[in-house]
Amino acid sequence: MSLVSLRYFNEVVRTGSIREAADRLHVAPSAISRQMRNLEIELGVPLFERHARGVVPTSAGELYARYAREALLDQERIYSEIDDLKGLRRGHVRVCSVEGVVANGLTHAVATFRKRFGGVSISLDITGTESVIEAVRNGDVDIGVAFTSSPDPDVHRTLRLRDPLFAIMAADFPLARQRKLALVDTLAYPIAIPRRHFGIRALLDTRCRTAQLTMRPTLETNSIEALRGFARSGCGITFLPQLSVKRELEAGQVVAVPMTDRDLQQATIDVCVLKNRTLPAAAQGFLRHLEATLPVHR
C-alpha cells in the first residue's frame, strides 16, 4: 500500500471527514475519496460507514487504522536513521505537554537541546492531561508530558516524577502562615481550579469524593496562568505543583503550603511515549535530554 494512501486514510480517521482531511492535507476531496474507494476494493471490505456528518471507521477500518498509524511512524523513524547514517544532525520532534511544566522545565530543556543540536526543530502543543495521552496514543506526537496520568495500555511512561500539589496563595492571604493545610481547610475561602480534562482537577475531584467534600470554585479555567494570577492577586487559593509556580515563589509573589491529603501528595509529572514504538533518533535524543533536565525531585 502506498504511503500516500496510508496518509490519506489516517487523516480521514483522525478528522472523521473526507472534506476536513482534504483541507488539512491541501488536496482535493475527490482525490481522497478515490484513494479510500481503491483501498476498500483492494481489501474487499468497507472501511468506513458514511453518515451525513462524516465517516466512522468500521471494525475493519479500525484494524487498518492501527496498521496505517504504525507504518507512518516507522517511515519517520527510518528517515531519521538514514539521516544519522549520512551524518546529518537534523530531524523534528513533536511534543505535547500540560501547561504547568512549560515555563519552568520544558522550555529550558528545548533551549539547551537546541544549543547542542541546532538542526533539530521542535513543535510544542499545550493542553490538558487527557488530551496529552490521546495525542501520544494516536501517534500525533512523539513525546507527551502529563500530570498524574491514568494507566493506558497503549502508552508507556518513560519517567514518573513526584510533584505533589500545594495550596498556592499570596503571602498576605489569611492561610499563608499555616505550616500545612488539608483541602477541607481551604474550601471556606475563594478557590480557583482547572477544568475537568486537567490531571490536577482529577486529583481534586477524587479527594472530594473520598472525603465527601464539595468544591464551589470562584474561578474554573483551562489556563494555568489564570490560576497563578488568581493566587498572585490575593483573590484566593489555587492548587498547583511547585514546579508550576517556581518563578512566583522565587520572586516572593506567592507561598506554597503543603497539603496533608494523601491523594494530593501522590501527584506526578509523567513523560510518555507510544508503547512498543521505536522513536526517530531526534525524538529519542530529546526524550533522554528532557528526562535528565526536568527540575523535579525524583
Could you give the residue range(s) of every CATH 3.40.190.290 domain in the chain? 165-265
* CB-CB contact of 12 with 48 (8 Å): yes
DSSP summary character for residue 103: I
Give the pLDDT of residue 153. 93
Give the pLDDT of residue 51. 87
Can you list the positions of beta strands (E) in 83-153? 91-97, 120-126, 143-147
Provide the angle, in degrees to the nearest 10, between the axes of the packed helices 18-25 and 29-43: 120
Residue 70 makes CB contacts below 8 A (sequence gap 6+) with: 139, 277
**Cα separation of 212 and 98, whole Å?**
28
- Local confidence pLDDT in tens for the 298 residues of the chain: 577 888 889 899 989 999 999 888 888 888 899 889 888 988 899 999 988 888 999 999 999 998 888 888 877 777 666 666 454 467 889 999 998 888 768 888 999 888 878 888 999 999 989 999 999 998 899 999 998 888 999 999 999 888 899 999 999 999 999 999 999 999 999 999 999 888 899 999 999 999 999 999 999 999 999 999 999 999 999 999 988 888 899 899 999 999 999 989 888 889 999 998 888 888 888 898 888 887 654 4
Task: Label residues 37-67 b or e (16+ Cβ within 10 Å = b).
Answer: eebbeeeeeebbeeeeebbebeeebeebbee
* CB-CB contact of 127 with 96 (8 Å): yes
Task: Label residues 140-149 b or e (16+ Cβ within 10 Å = b).
Answer: bbbbbbbbbb
As given in the structure block, the three cell numbers for residue 118 are: 541546532
CATH of 3-79, one of 3.40.50.2000, 1.10.10.10, 3.40.350.10, 1.20.120.160: 1.10.10.10
Q: Within 10 Å of residue 27's Cβ, how many Cβ atoms?
A: 16
Could you give the residue range(s) of every CATH 1.10.10.10 domain in the chain? 3-79
Residue 138 makes CB contacts below 8 A (sequence gap 6+) with: 14, 69
**Cα separation of 238 and 224, whole Å?**
10
Give the pLDDT of residue 83. 62
Provide the angle, in degrees to the nearest 10, between the axes of the packed helices 59-85 and 29-43: 110
DSSP summary character for residue 253: S
The C-alpha angle with vertex 102 and arms to 99 and 107, in degrees rounded to 5, equals 160
As given in the structure block, the three cell numbers for residue 98 are: 500540560
DSSP summary character for residue 106: I
Could you give the residue range(s) of every CATH 3.40.190.10 domain in the chain? 89-162+268-293
Task: Give the fold, CATH level 3, of 89-162+268-293.
Answer: D-Maltodextrin-Binding Protein; domain 2 (3.40.190)
Give the pLDDT of residue 276. 87
As given in the structure block, the three cell numbers for residue 221 are: 479555567
Residue 80 makes CB contacts below 8 A (sequence gap 6+) with: 91, 280, 281, 282, 283
Q: Which CATH number does 165-265 carry? A: 3.40.190.290
Give the pLDDT of residue 88. 43
Q: In 102-189, where does DSSP find H-type helix?
A: 107-116, 129-137, 183-186
Q: Within 10 Å of residue 11's Cβ, how many Cβ atoms?
A: 20
